[in-house]
């Protein structure tokens, strides 16, 4: 039975669905999907078209909004919205260190997780769409990895879509993970250089913290081992609209004087562990590189291998000289499964996923070339998470897709920009702009 309740300006309904774990075997094992339906209070009894929101990630559940913030308020003017927890995330049969042992050992866990990529998410959407819309096609809004899923949707089941809206999420159709990261590290360096230009005092602060971590064994209160590589990975903040400022505030009071000398403060350690821990989204670490697997080549810890091609990111070499420390960004590394207590039990599972050679294509170039679904995509200029050149190449491969290329926002523009980003995409998709 569905449960409805109210928040300011919105009526919410919890929805649960049962879908096959493997859509190629519909009579086999099933999993549960959770979604939250949202409708404007004043339109609760109206017959409205549907918009399904696909969150970024992979591995994150849908936003837990209160009221009608960000893009949601704009969407609720026209739609009923389904905030879907993609399989394995949020309340949708979670996949984490606590639940995955139910599958068996690492080999069984790795096999299970191969079904948590964009193609399975699209088939989940198609499985539940008749129950939600009565069979009518719906609009999809895909943010970041949700945009990857949207391109897969256009490839696999365009008949299910009325309109496709993508924000910061046009994937390369054929790049290997190595290609993705070779394009990523120069972008990340640009973001770090821009951060230091804004906050030059952070150059010495970051070097001091890194030097401390190279000479001290620091374990955060939650058991996370804070290495210098882990500290550098806080650069993931630099891809968001407020990220540079958040990183600055984290660095400005990192040390406190104690009877044993200067140590990293409790406040710094608390904030760092909240930013670094994958306890709330372990799938992000487990299948992140798998979202780029489309052929017989293993991903094989691509970000770690490619990082070695960019020696300026080596902290020890940097500290031996006088260069600014470079932070890293959206990348997963094997050492994370040693540092993070939420990931340690899954190290062997992650190794098996990195070694797999049976990945299948996620996108269909031929079908995209004859696309008839109205599509609009926001491409954020010099997006730290998704390469702009890759995104624009894909945009040209999808028939009828209209792009909005802007440097007004970072990767999180659909959140930070309030209703403006969604309003612009809807205008483009409807040929009103």
- Residues catalogued as catalytic: 144, 358, 411
Helix or strand run (H / E) with residue 192: helix 177-198
Compute how many other C-beta atoms are within 10 angstroms of the C-beta atom of residue 308: 9
Q: Are 189 and 312 a contacting pair, CB within 8 Å?
A: yes
Outline where 224-378 has alpha helix (H): 228-232, 243-252, 266-276, 282-287, 302-307, 315-320, 336-339, 347-355, 365-369
Strand partners, 380: 406
List all residues 6 or more positions away from 361 whose beta carbon is below 8 Å from its beta carbon.
Answer: 294, 295
122 touches 156 (CB < 8 A): yes
**CB 316: neighbour CB atoms within 10 A?**
10
What angle, 0 to 180 degrees and rounded to 10, lies between the N-to-C axes of helices 243-252 and 177-198? 60
Pairing status of strand 30-40 against strand 80-85: antiparallel
Tell me if 92 sits within 8 A of 33, measured CB to CB: yes
**CB neighbours of 215 closer than 8 A, spacing ≥ 6?**
none
Q: Is 87 in contact with 128 (CB distance < 8 Å)?
A: no
């Amino acid at each position: 039975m569905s449960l409805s309740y109210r928040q300011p300006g919105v009526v919410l309904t919890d929805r649960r669905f049962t879908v096959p774990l493997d859509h190629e075997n519909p009579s086999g094992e099933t999993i549960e999907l959770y979604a939250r339906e949202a409708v404007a209070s004043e339109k609760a009894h109206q017959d409205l078209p549907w918009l399904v929101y696909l969150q970024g990630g992979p591995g994150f559940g849908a936003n837990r909004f209160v009221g009608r913030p960000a893009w949601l308020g704009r969407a609720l003017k026209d739609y009923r919205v389904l905030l879907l927890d993609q399989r394995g995330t949020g309340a949708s049969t979670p996949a984490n260190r606590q639940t995955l042992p139910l599958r068996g050992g690492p080999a069984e866990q790795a096999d299970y997780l191969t079904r948590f990529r964009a193609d399975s998410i699209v088939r989940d959407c198609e499985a539940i769409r008749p129950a939600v819309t009565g069979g009518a096609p719906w609009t999809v809004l895909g943010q970041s990895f949700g945009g990857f899923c949207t391109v897969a949707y256009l490839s696999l089941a365009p008949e299910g879509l009325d309109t496709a809206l993508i924000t910061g999420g046009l994937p390369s159709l054929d790049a290997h993970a190595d290609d993705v990261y070779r394009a990523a590290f120069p972008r990340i360096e640009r973001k770090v250089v821009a951060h230091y230009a804004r906050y030059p005092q952070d150059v010495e602060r970051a070097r001091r913290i890194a030097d401390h971590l190279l000479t001290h064994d620091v374990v955060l209160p939650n058991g996370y081992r804070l290495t210098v590589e882990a500290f550098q990975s806080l650069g993931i903040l630099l891809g968001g609209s407020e990220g540079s400022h958040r990183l600055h505030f984290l660095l400005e009071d990192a040390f406190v004087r104690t009877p044993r000398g200067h140590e990293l403060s409790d406040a710094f350690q608390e904030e760092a562990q909240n930013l670094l821990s994958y306890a709330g989204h372990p799938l992000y670490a487990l299948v992140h590189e798998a979202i780029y697997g489309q052929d017989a080549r293993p991903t094989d810890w691509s970000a770690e291998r490619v990082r070695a091609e960019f020696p300026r990111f080596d902290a020890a070499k940097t500290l031996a000289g006088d260069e600014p420390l470079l932070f890293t960004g959206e990348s997963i590394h094997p050492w994370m499964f040693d540092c993070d207590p939420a990931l340690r039990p899954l190290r062997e599972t992650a190794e098996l996923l990195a070694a797999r050679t049976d990945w299948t294509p996620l996108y269909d170039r031929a079908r995209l070339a004859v696309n008839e679904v109205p599509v609009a995509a926001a491409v954020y200029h010099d997006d730290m998470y998704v390469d702009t050149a890759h995104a624009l190449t894909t945009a040209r491969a999808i028939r009828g897709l209209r792009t909005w290329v802007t440097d007004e926002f970072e990767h999180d523009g659909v959140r930070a920009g309030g209703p403006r980003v969604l309003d612009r995409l809807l205008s483009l998709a409807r040929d009103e702009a």
